[in-house]
Structure 1
Amino acid sequence: MNSINIPEVKCGIISVSRDCFVISLSENRRSAIKEAYTKKYGEIYEVQKTVENENDMLAAVKEANEANCNALVVFLGNFGPETPETLIAQNFDGPVMYVAAAEETGKNLINGRGDAYCGMLNCSYNLGLRKIKAFIPEYPVGTADDLATMIAEFQPIARTLIGLSGLKIITFGPRPQDFFACNAPIKPLYDLGIEIEENSELDLLISYREHKDDPRIADIIKDMAAELGKEGNPYPDLLERMAQYELTLLDWAENHKGARQYVAFANKCWPAFPSQFGFEPCYVNSRLVSRGIPVACEVDIYGALSEYIGTCVSGDAVTLLDINNSVPKDLFAESIEKTTDYKLEDTFMGFHCGNTPLCKLRKGGIKYQLIQNRLLENGETPDITRGTLEGDIADGEITFFRLQSTAGGQLRSYIAQGEIFPVATNSFGGIGIFAIPEMGRFYRHVLIQKQYPHHGAVAFGHYGKTLYAIFQYLGIEDIAFNQPKGMLYPTENPFA
C-alpha cells in the first residue's frame, strides 16, 4: 500500500552506560545491533553519544532529533544509569523502546559482564516513578540478533503510536437512528491524543455539489474504470458521481486536517445519503481505505479509529465488517467440516455492504445495496442504491479487533486471530466465511457480555501480538481475546 496517511518511522538507537562500567562495552554492543539490524531489516540511526549522565542524555536526544528520528530504542549495553536513561523518554517526543544486552560468552564474565539483566529492573522502576510511558518487549534481554528482531517488531508499534498522535477523525452526520452500536463518547479520543471534527451531512452535500464539473473528475473516472475492469463495472454512468464524491472527501481531508498530519473518516451513509447524492458511497470508501484513509460507514468513530490502527500495524489495506450471521449447517457440512478442525460455532460470516477494497476480494465489482433498494426504490430497477463493491473476501489469515469506548467513557478492546475460508458464500455484499478458534465462547463472553457493537475491524494477517502491545501502551486495561478451551471466562458457566 502506497500511502501518505500513515507515518514513516525513522528509528534511532541510543546506548547507555553506567559510569562504573567500561563504556566501550555498551558502545560495541550497540554497533553490533546496528550491524545485525541493517543486515536483516534496513536502516536504523546509530546515535554516537553514549549516555552516562544527564548532560549526555540531552546531547544524545539532540543528536537524534537533528537526525529526524521519530522513534527511539534505548539500549542498556550494561547496567545503565537509571535517571539519565529514563529521562531520554521524557525528553524525546516520540515512542521509545527499552531493551538490554545479554551476556555474550561464559569466557568473559569479568570485564565483559554488563549486568544489563539487573539494570532493566531498575530502569522499569524509574520509568514508573516518573510516570513515563515506554515500550518494553515480552523478554527485553538478548544478543545483537535477538534485539534486532525486537527492534523490527517495534517498528509497527511506533508507526501506530506516531500516527495516533497526529490523527484527526472527521465525521459527517449523526449515527443513523437506532444505531446505538455506533455510540461514540468523544472524551476518550482526546485522552488518546486524537482530534475530532464533527460535521453534518448537509456540510458534506454542499461540498459535494461544489465539486460538480471539477476538471480532476475525468482522471478519477479513468482510474476507477481501470481498477474495476469491464466485468466489474456494469454501471459506467455511475462513475462520474462517485469520482466527484472521492474528490470531495480528499479535498476535505486536505483542507481540514489543520495541525494534524493524518485523517480518518466516519461518515453517515444511509438512509438519506443515496437519495441526496444519487448513489451509495461504499466503492469510494473502499478506494480510500486501500490508500490508508479509512472511511468507516454509519458514523462509526471507533470503527474508523480501529481501522486506522490496523492500517498502521499492517501497512496494508483493512476493512470494517459486521459480525453478521451464522454459517448454515448444510453449508458448513458441505464445504468446511471435512477439511478443518473448526466447529460450526467457531465460524460466522463477516459482511458489509461493499466497503472492503477490491484488492481484498476474490473477485469483485460494482453492484447495488439490496436492502436499501427494497426500502428506497421498492425493490425495482436500482439507480440511487448503486455503488456498493461486492464479492467474496479473499481467503487467508485475519485479525478481528476493535478499540471501543463504553457509554461511560471507558476504553476497552478485543483481539482475535483467525482465518477466512476459500468457500463461496452465495450471498451479497462484501462478505466472507470467518473462523476463529473458540468463537462461540468469545462471542458470548466477550462480544455480548461486554456489550461490543457489531462492527469489527479486520486486518489481513495475524497481528495480535502487535495490537496487544499497542493497547497496553495506550493504557487499555481490558484487552479481551478468544481464550482457548479450558481457560474459562469470568462469566462462563463451568458446568455448561
Structure 2
Amino acid sequence: MPVKGSATIGRVGLLPLGRPTFDVPYAEEKLAAMLAALDRTGIETAGSRSLLFDADATRAAIGALKGAGIDRLLVLQVTFTDAGMVAEAANAFDRPLAIWSVPEPRTGGRLRLNAFCGLNLAAHALGLSGRDFGHLHAAPDAPGIEATLAELLSGQRQAMPVEARAAIGDDADGIAAAEAIRGARIARIGKHPDGFPTCAYDKASIAALAGATVDELDLAELFDRAGAVSAEALRETRAAADAALAGLDDVDQAQLDRSLRLKPAIAALRAEGKYDAFAIRCWPETFTEYGGAVCGPVSMMGEARVPCACEADVYGALTTLLLQKVADAPAFLTDLVDLDADDDTGVVWHCGQAPISMADPDAVARATIHTNRKMPLLFEFPLKPGRVTFFRIRQARGRPTAVIGGGEVLKRPMAFTGTSGVVRFDTPAKILLDRIMGAALEHHMALAYGDHRNALDAAARSLGLPVLDL
C-alpha cells in the first residue's frame, strides 16, 4: 500500500551510483532491495534501475532524466564513489536533491560497499556549492523504511548547517602545539583524486592559517627513489615490519619488496626537504604503475610521528600533525565508514595504515593486501579500546574551522579488514550523523588516544579558528 503523502512527492529521478572495485554482486543485491523499498512506497520513479559505474554512463542517465519530467532527484549511493557525478547532477537540476546510502554488516571481512564514505564526500561537495540536500543512511529492509523514504523525499530529512562557536581554550600545551606547527613544511606527492574536493587545498590559505608551506612533488620522484633504495635499508625496513606483523611471508614477496621500499624513500625525502608531514596520492598509481601499496609504509611513518595523509589530503596532513603535537603521540587519519543509530556506534577505518601502537594488544596484527587492489603491504588489526579524540581542520562550506570530538573505542571484534575500530562517540550516533551532514565535513578525521579536546580548543584559538563540536 502506498505510504501517506506519496502522491504529493511527484516523480522521482533515480541515479544509482557504484564503483566496480567494490563487491558488485553484493551492490546489485542491495540496489534491488532499495528499488523494491521505493516501489512499495507507491512513489513514481524514473531513470536507471541499474548501477552506473562511470562518468559516461552517469552523464547519459542525467541526460535521460532531463526529459523525464522529474520533480526531485534521488541519488542511490550503493557503493563508495567520488563526489564528481553527484556535483554534476546537482548542477543539472534545480529540483530538490536527496542521497540514500546503505550500511553493510560489520563482519570482519572486506569493506564491500563503503557507501557511507561516498555519502560523506557528496555532502561535502554539495556544502561547498551551497546546495541543499536531504540524506538517509539506512538499510532497505529497515523497519518502517517506506515511511522514512517518504520523509526523505518530501524534504523532512534535510541537512541543516551547523554553527561553529568561538574558541575559548587557554591550555598551555594546546597553545604550544599551535606554535609548533607554524612554518610547517608539507610535501604533497601527486595530486588528490578527481571528485575529492575534501582533499583540495589553497597554498595561500594554508600559509595564512599556520605559515605552512607546501612543496608539490611528482609520484614519479617517489617511485624512482624507492627503486634506488639500498639493500641494507630494505632489510632494515623488512625487519621492522616483521617485528610488528605476523604473516609477512604469506603475501606476494615481489610486491612486498616494492611496498617496503616506499618507507625509506619517504624518509629520505623527509630528511632532504626537512618535511614535517606528507600528503600522498596513494591510489591508483601506487598499484597500477608502481606495483605495491603505500599503506604499510604510511603506518610505519605515522608510528615514527611523521604524518602521511592519503589521497594527497594536505589539510589532513596538517590536521594530523597538530593532533600529534597536542597528544604527544602518533595520530591516525581515518575515514568514518558507518554510523549505527540502534547500536549507537560508528566505525572508523582505513585500508591498513594506523600506527602499530594503536593495535589491540589482544589481537594479532597481520600483514595483508589491499582489499580492492590485491597488493601488500597493509597492516591489519582492530584498534585498541580506550578514550580517543577526533580532530579536523576543515574547509567545509568555505570557512576554515577546527572540528573537535571525542569518543571511546570499544572492545569489539574487527569490523572490517585493514585497521578499524568501533567507536561510541560522545554525541549519539543519530545526532552525529545529522551534524556531519549539516556541517558537510570532509571524510578524513584524525584520531589520537586520550582526551585532548581542551588543548585543541586552545590550539584553535591560537590559530584564529572557530570550533565546531562534534
Query: Quick check: TM above 0.5?
Result: yes
The Cα of 1:268 is off from its aligned counterpart by: 0.6
Asked if residue 474 in structure 1 is aligned to residue 463 in structure 2, the reply is yes
Counterpart of 2:440 in 1: which secondary structure? coil
Q: Hey, what's the Cα distance between the residues in 1 that align with 2:172 and 2:419? A: 33
The Cα of 1:233 is off from its aligned counterpart by: 5.3
Q: Hey, what's the Cα distance between the residues in 1 that align with 2:322 and 2:298? A: 17
- 1:247 is matched with 264
- 1:457 is matched with 446
- 1:218 is matched with 235
Contact residue 347 and residue 415 of structure 2 kept, 8 A: no
- 1:203 is matched with 221
Q: Hey, what's the Cα distance between the residues in 2 that align with 1:411 and 1:267? A: 22
- 2:290 is matched with 277
The Cα of 1:318 is off from its aligned counterpart by: 1.2
Note closer, same or farther for the CA distance 1:448–1:301 as it changes in structure 2 (3 Å cut): same
Q: 1:407-441: CA deviations, max 9, x gaps?
A: 74x31121111111101134212111111122435
Counterpart of 1:344 in 2: which secondary structure? coil
TM-score by length of 2: 0.60
Counterpart of 1:215 in 2: which secondary structure? helix
Counterpart amino acid of 2:420?
A: I
Contact residue 399 and residue 462 of structure 1 kept, 8 A: yes
Counterpart amino acid of 1:434?
A: V
Note closer, same or farther for the CA distance 1:426–1:243 as it changes in structure 2 (3 Å cut): closer
Aligned with 1:186 (options 203, 206, 211): 203
Counterpart amino acid of 1:267?
A: I
Counterpart of 1:371 in 2: which secondary structure? coil
Q: 1:78-110: CA deviations, max 9, x gaps?
A: xxxxxxxxxxxxxxxxxxxxxxxxxxxxxxxxx
Counterpart amino acid of 1:305?
A: L
Q: Hey, what's the Cα distance between the residues in 1 that align with 2:433 and 2:247? A: 41
The Cα of 1:443 is off from its aligned counterpart by: 3.1
Counterpart amino acid of 1:456?
A: M
Counterpart amino acid of 1:349?
A: V
The Cα of 1:402 is off from its aligned counterpart by: 0.4
Aligned with 2:390 (options 385, 394, 400): 400
Q: Hey, what's the Cα distance between the residues in 1 that align with 2:446 and 2:359? A: 16
- 1:368 is matched with 369
Q: Percent identity?
A: 22
Structure of greater Rg: 1
- 2:277 is matched with 264
* Residue range with higher mean Cα deviation, 297-306 or 430-439: 430-439
Counterpart of 2:250 in 1: which secondary structure? coil
Q: Hey, what's the Cα distance between the residues in 1 that align with 2:214 and 2:266? A: 16
Structure 2: gaps (5+ residues): 1-166
User: May I ask how many residue pairs the two structures share in their alignment?
Assistant: 299
Contact residue 402 and residue 456 of structure 1 kept, 8 A: yes
Greater RCO, 1 or 2 (C-alpha within 8 Å, sep 6+): 2
- 2:250 is matched with 234
Counterpart of 2:305 in 1: which secondary structure? coil
The Cα of 1:270 is off from its aligned counterpart by: 0.6
The Cα of 1:178 is off from its aligned counterpart by: 2.0
Q: Hey, what's the Cα distance between the residues in 2 that align with 1:421 and 1:474? A: 33
Note closer, same or farther for the CA distance 1:357–1:233 as it changes in structure 2 (3 Å cut): farther
Contact residue 306 and residue 402 of structure 1 kept, 8 A: yes
Contact residue 173 and residue 455 of structure 2 kept, 8 A: no
Aligned with 2:435 (options 426, 430, 446): 446
- 1:357 is matched with 355
Counterpart of 1:370 in 2: which secondary structure? coil
Contact residue 347 and residue 422 of structure 2 kept, 8 A: yes
- 1:302 is matched with 315
The Cα of 1:442 is off from its aligned counterpart by: 4.8
Q: Hey, what's the Cα distance between the residues in 1 that align with 2:415 and 2:333? A: 20
The Cα of 1:400 is off from its aligned counterpart by: 1.2
The Cα of 1:448 is off from its aligned counterpart by: 1.4
Q: Hey, what's the Cα distance between the residues in 1 that align with 2:168 and 2:350? A: 37
Counterpart of 1:355 in 2: which secondary structure? coil
Note closer, same or farther for the CA distance 1:400–1:136 as it changes in structure 2 (3 Å cut): closer
TM-score by length of 1: 0.57
Counterpart of 2:329 in 1: which secondary structure? coil
Q: 1:173-220: CA deviations, max 9, x gaps?
A: 111122222122222210121111111222222222233x44322222
CA RMSD of aligned residues (A): 2.3
- 1:132 is matched with none
Structure 1: gaps (5+ residues): 1-134, 139-152, 328-342, 374-384, 483-496
Contact residue 256 and residue 376 of structure 2 kept, 8 A: no
The Cα of 1:294 is off from its aligned counterpart by: 0.4
Q: 1:123-170: CA deviations, max 9, x gaps?
A: xxxxxxxxxxxx9965xxxxxxxxxxxxxx513531x12321241111
- 2:140 is matched with none
Contact residue 157 and residue 469 of structure 1 kept, 8 A: yes
Contact residue 188 and residue 405 of structure 1 kept, 8 A: no
